[in-house]
């Protein structure tokens, strides 16, 4: 799966990724992503720990996926904004 980082909640370390079937929400431990970064991961819809490749920055980082296929109307709730 691949997508573009849409938004961040730096206070909670949450990242929303605009993916083909909605948004994927994950938690990061550092500050490895910025809005607009192109990222990819496999398998397609993992929950829990997963390695994500930040193609824009040329590095990989471990994240914790919380949700996939989130519609835009529920994104603020999932991002706790």
- What is the pTM assigned to this prediction? 0.95
Residues pairing with 24 in the sheet: 17
Specify the DSSP element, H or E, that contains 67: strand 59-70
pLDDT, tens digit (0-9, with 9 covering 90-100), for 2-32: 999 999 999 999 999 999 999 999 999 888 9
**Mean pLDDT in the chain?**
96
* 8-state DSSP, 1: -
DSSP 7-60: EEETTTTEEEEEETTEEEEEEESS----TT-EEEESSSS--EEEEEEETTTTEE
């Amino acid at each position: 799966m691949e997508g573009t980082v849409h938004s961040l909640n730096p206070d909670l370390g949450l990242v929303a990724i605009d993916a083909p079937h909605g948004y994927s929400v994950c938690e990061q431990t550092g500050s490895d992503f910025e809005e607009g970064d192109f990222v990819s991961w496999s398998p397609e819809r993992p929950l829990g720990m997963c390695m994500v490749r930040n193609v824009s920055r040329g590095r990989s980082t471990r994240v914790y996926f919380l949700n996939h296929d989130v519609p835009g109307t529920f994104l603020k709730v999932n991002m706790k904004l």
